[in-house]
């Protein structure tokens, strides 16, 4: 279990502001945010590598705020593997064992299990300078787990890998968590990783937590405009709410339910906006006539930006639909979205 | 296979400029040295190396320079680590202080050291009561050579430490190693080569020192002082063979430096 209470870190060019997180024992928790948001600083505060100005950090009900890193019992894996270049694969894995002796004997009874689980037996004697990215990350994971840490921190462990290895390590992480039930705190900027691996997530921006919740909650019910954009809700607008309707400038949006007037924004996913060349059947909610202002080809699909009543909406259509509708800039189109896909916050 | 068109390349003014400048520089360095080496006859060289005073001066030069390098290693390593790893107010200022001995004229260094080593200074008084003499002593030579050689050691090792990712040390700490344990198991094995190169640089710089030494300790005579003394007392012909022997020693040191630098490059 990791408990972070009111954590403040002040560095010369960056600050963390009152971070509160509670990660349950055995949970796979992901901390999301763009580059420079402060994710790694949170990890480094938990592990004891940056000075904490205020707040407390508990690991399994032990206050570790003032303990040096070596006394905290935390394993960490970095995106760039950070393997010791002067040691072999085996020497890397057993590096920490001498510091974790029980009754005068080295621990590491799970060493064989780890070596086999990560398929490292045949490369144990190799220098780490000749390993592939996937092998290096497996060694880094094995090294962190060999000392049987209470919690495992992962700093973007998939970012530096090419797609094949990324999938392999992602599977290993999932399997590892299922097998060992270890508490994991992973930071990433990729929401799909959080969706695949994480149970709960927090989103951080400019050193402040924006939202904490289950991955589904964060994905479907973002609490702030930043989170909404971060999880792919490209259409975020300030809105005025009136009963079952919301107004974005001159655009009236049906909500299908009565929304509190205290809400300030609406957000719609681009994939939830349908576009066609002819009119939608009468009675279709939120049907608008618009002009295509830009088409961004993304390969298998295209982002189509349409403009109506001074508002720009982003929709996604497949390349075949784009071809069939022969859409170009300035084409008049009809767009519609269901009331259920409008998220108010 | 099509051969490159050398004629066109040779016409490139940039190539001309770089090649001709390089040749001028190489000639500028080698010509006086070659001239000096070949002007000394083998008989002179043989005779010089049999001269006890010469052997002693070269030995003293090596002993004092290596001592300076060892002292630099002892005190300079933790200092270089601090500069490489920590950010603190006034760091740039401290780094400039380290470089000061490189910039100060050498006789000024000698005068500066003497000014604190004399009995009219409290530090000189303490040293005197402890039986430590700076003026005209081997200790004095080592102090001066450490003063001039230390910046080369510190700067080189600092760069070496900076090249080691901090994350390796972080990982080591997270695996249970203390800060000192981490230094000896991770940082030192990755930085020792830069320390060796730093010590060779420091020794090489120290062995060539003359200006500060003549002020602090004319006697006992180190090789550069002996060369100067022979030159002023007997002329060029008598000073040349000693200089040749000193050059041979310096050349050996720099060859060592190149070998270590090449290994270092291969590692990174």
Tokens representing residue B188 in the block: 């030192």
Model pLDDT, residue A256? 80
Domain-located, residue B29 = no
| pLDDT tens-place string over residues A277-326 | 888 998 899 999 999 999 998 888 999 999 998 899 999 999 888 888 88
Q: List the domain range (segments joined by +) for residue B163.
A: 48-267
* Span A51-74, average pLDDT: 93
Cβ atoms of residues A237 and A265 within 8 Å: yes
What is the percent of chain A with per-residue pLDDT over 70, rounded to a whole number? 98
Q: A76–B171: do the CB atoms touch at under 8 Å?
A: yes
Residue B28 lies in a domain: no
Nearest-5° Cα angle at B258, B75 to B72? 10
Question: Would you call B174 and A68 a contact, using CB atoms and an 8 Å cutoff?
Answer: no
Q: Is residue B74 part of a domain?
A: yes
Chain A residues inside the 8 Å CB shell of B178: 68, 70
pLDDT digits (tens, 9 = 90+) for B37-80: 888 888 888 888 889 999 999 999 999 999 999 999 999 999 99
B258 or A214: whose pLDDT is higher? A214
Asked if B168 and A84 come within 8 Å (Cβ–Cβ), the reply is yes
Residues of chain A contacting B, Cβ within 8 Å: 12, 44, 47-49, 68-70, 72, 74-76, 78, 80, 82, 84-86, 95-96, 98-100, 143-144, 147, 149
**Identity of the residue in A70, A80, A144 whose CB atom sits nearest the CB atom of B167:** A80
Question: Does the residue B31 lie in any domain?
Answer: no
Structure-token match 């320079």, residue found? B65
Shortest distance, CA A90 to any CA of chain B (angstroms): 15
Whole-number pLDDT of residue A78: 92
Q: Which residues contact A294 (CB under 8 A, 6 or more apart)?
A: A303, A304, A305, A329
Are A44 and B170 an interchain contact pair (Cβ–Cβ within 8 Å)? Answer: yes
- pLDDT of residue A103 exceeding 90, the answer is no
Show residues of chain A in contact with B179, CB under 8 Å.
68
User: Mean pLDDT across chain B, nearest whole number?
Assistant: 89
Residue A72 with chain B: CB contacts under 8 Å: 174
Closest residue in B to A73 (Cα) is B174
Nearest to A47 among B174, B177, B178 (CB): B174
Residue B3 is assigned to a structural domain of this protein: no
Q: What is the DSSP letter of A279?
A: P
Task: Determine the Cα–Cα distance for residues B38 and B231; give it in Å rounded to an integer.
Answer: 18
* pLDDT at residue B266 is higher than 60: no
Q: Give the domains, in start order, of chain A with CATH numbers.
A: 2-226 (3.40.50.300), 233-344 (2.40.50.100)
Please say whether the beta carbons of A211 and A227 come within 8 A: yes
CB contact under 8 A, B173 and A12: no
Contacts of A149 in chain B (CB under 8 A): 174
* Sign of the four-CA dihedral A82, A140, A194, A15: negative
- Nearest residue on chain B to A87, alpha-carbon basis: B186
Distance from CA of A195 to the nearest CA of B (A): 27
**String of DSSP letters for B14-39:** HHHHHHHHHHHHHHHHHHHHHHHHHH
Identify the pLDDT of residue A56: 95
Give the pLDDT confidence score for residue A250 in this predicted structure.
84
Asked if A178 contacts A111 with a C-beta cutoff of 8 angstroms, the reply is: no
B96 interface with A at CB cutoff 8 Å? no
Is the CB of residue B168 less than 8 Å away from at least one CB of chain A? yes
Which site among B170, B173, B175 would you substitute to test the A interface, given the most A Cβ atoms closer than 10 Å to its Cβ? B175
Instruction: Name the closest residue on chain B to residue A80, using Cα atoms.
Output: B167
Which of A256-260, B89-93, B127-131, B152-156 shows the lowest per-residue confidence on average (mean pLDDT)?
A256-260
The CATH number linked to B117 is 1.10.3720.10
Counted across chains A and B, CB pairs separated by less than 8 A come out at 63
A84 contact residues in B (CB cutoff 8 A) = 168, 171-172, 186
Number of helices (H), then strands (E), belonging to chain B: the values are: 14, 0
Output the CA torsion sign for A74, A79, A82, A83. Answer: positive
CB pair distance less than 8 Å for A95 and B189: no
pLDDT at B267: 47
Q: Is the pLDDT of residue B268 over 50?
A: no
Residues in chain A closer than 8 A to B168 (CB atoms): 82, 84
Q: CB neighbours of A87 closer than 8 A, spacing ≥ 6? A: A95, A128
Of A70, A80, A144, the CB nearest to B173: A70
Mean pLDDT of B160-183: 95
Q: What's the ipTM?
A: 0.82
> Is residue B25 situated within a structural domain?
no
> Within 10 A of B264 (CB to CB), how many other CB atoms are there?
15
Q: Which tokens sit at A180?
A: 């060992």
Does residue A148 have a pLDDT over 80?
yes
Least CB–CB distance from B87: residue in A12, A96, A100: A12
pLDDT at A108: 59
Percentage of chain B modeled with pLDDT above 90: 66
**Between chains, do B165 and A82 touch, taking CB under 8 Å as contact?**
yes
Q: State the pLDDT at residue B128.
A: 87
Angle at A49 (CA atoms; ends B165, B80), nearest 5 degrees: 50
Nearest chain B residue to A142 by CA: give it: B175
Please give the tally of structural domains in chain B: 1
Greater pLDDT, A105 or A163: A163
* Residue A129: C-alpha distances to residues A80, B100, B263 (Å): 13, 40, 16
CA–CA–CA angle A216, A299, A341 (5° rounding): 30
């Amino acid at each position: 279990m990791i408990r972070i209470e009111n954590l403040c870190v002040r560095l010369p060019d960056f600050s963390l502001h009152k971070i509160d997180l509670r990660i349950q024992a055995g949970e796979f928790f992901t901390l999301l945010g763009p580059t420079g948001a402060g994710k790694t600083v949170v990890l480094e505060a938990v592990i004891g590598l940056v000075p904490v100005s205020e707040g407390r950090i508990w690991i399994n009900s032990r206050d570790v705020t003032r303990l040096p890193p070596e006394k905290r019992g935390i394993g960490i894996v970095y995106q760039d593997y950070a393997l010791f270049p002067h040691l072999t694969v085996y020497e890397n894995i057993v590096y920490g064992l001498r510091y974790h002796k029980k009754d005068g004997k080295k621990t590491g009874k799970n060493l064989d299990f780890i070596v086999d689980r990560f398929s490292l037996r045949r490369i144990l004697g190799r220098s780490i300078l000749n390993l592939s990215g996937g092998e290096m990350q497996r060694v880094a994971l094995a090294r962190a787990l060999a000392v049987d840490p209470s919690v495992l921190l992962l700093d973007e462990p998939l970012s530096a890998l090419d797609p094949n290895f990324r999938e392999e390590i992602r599977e290993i992480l999932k399997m590892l968590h299922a097998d060992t039930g270890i508490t994991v705190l992973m930071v990433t900027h990729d929401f799909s990783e959080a969706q695949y691996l994480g149970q709960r997530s927090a989103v951080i921006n400019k050193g402040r937590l924006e939202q904490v919740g289950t991955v589904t909650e964060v994905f479907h019910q973002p609490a702030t405009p930043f989170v909404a954009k971060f999880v792919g809700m490209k259409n975020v607008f300030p809105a005025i709410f009136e009963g079952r309707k919301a107004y974005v400038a001159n655009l009236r949006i049906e909500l299908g339910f009565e929304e509190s007037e205290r809400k300030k924004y609406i957000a719609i996913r681009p994939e939830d906006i349908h576009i066609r060349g002819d009119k939608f059947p009468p009675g279709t909610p939120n049907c608008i006539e618009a002009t295509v202002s830009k088409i961004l080809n993304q390969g298998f699909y295209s982002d189509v930006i349409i403009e109506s009543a001074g508002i720009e909406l982003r929709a996604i259509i497949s390349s075949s639909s784009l071809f069939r509708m022969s859409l170009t800039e300035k084409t008049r189109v009809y767009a519609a979205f269901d009331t259920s896909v409008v998220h108010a916050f | 296979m099509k051969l490159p068109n050398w004629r066109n390349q040779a016409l490139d003014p940039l190539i001309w400029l770089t090649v001709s400048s390089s040749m001028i520089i190489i000639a500028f360095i080698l010509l006086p040295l070659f001239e000096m080496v070949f002007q000394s006859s083998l008989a002179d060289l043989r005779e010089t190396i049999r001269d006890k005073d010469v052997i002693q001066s070269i030995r003293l030069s090596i002993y004092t320079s290596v001592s300076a390098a060892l002292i630099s290693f002892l005190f300079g390593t933790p200092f270089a680590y601090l500069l490489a790893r920590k950010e603190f107010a006034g760091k740039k200022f401290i780094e400039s202080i380290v470089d000061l001995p490189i910039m100060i004229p050498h006789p000024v260094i000698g005068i500066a050291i003497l000014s604190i080593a004399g009995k009219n200074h409290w530090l000189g008084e303490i040293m005197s009561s402890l039986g430590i003499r700076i003026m005209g002593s081997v200790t004095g030579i080592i102090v001066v050579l450490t003063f001039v050689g230390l910046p080369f050691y510190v700067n080189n090792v600092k760069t070496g430490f900076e090249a080691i990712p901090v994350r390796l040390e972080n990982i080591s700490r997270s695996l249970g190693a203390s800060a000192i344990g981490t230094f000896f198991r991770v940082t030192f094995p990755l930085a020792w080569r830069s320390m060796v190169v730093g010590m060779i640089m420091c020794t090489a710089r120290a062995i060539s020192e003359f200006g500060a030494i003549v002020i602090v300790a004319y006697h006992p005579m180190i090789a550069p002082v002996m060369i100067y003394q022979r030159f002023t007392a007997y002329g060029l012909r008598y000073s040349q063979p000693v200089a040749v022997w000193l050059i041979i020693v310096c050349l050996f040191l720099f060859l060592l430096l190149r070998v270590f630098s090449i290994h270092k490059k291969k590692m990174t």
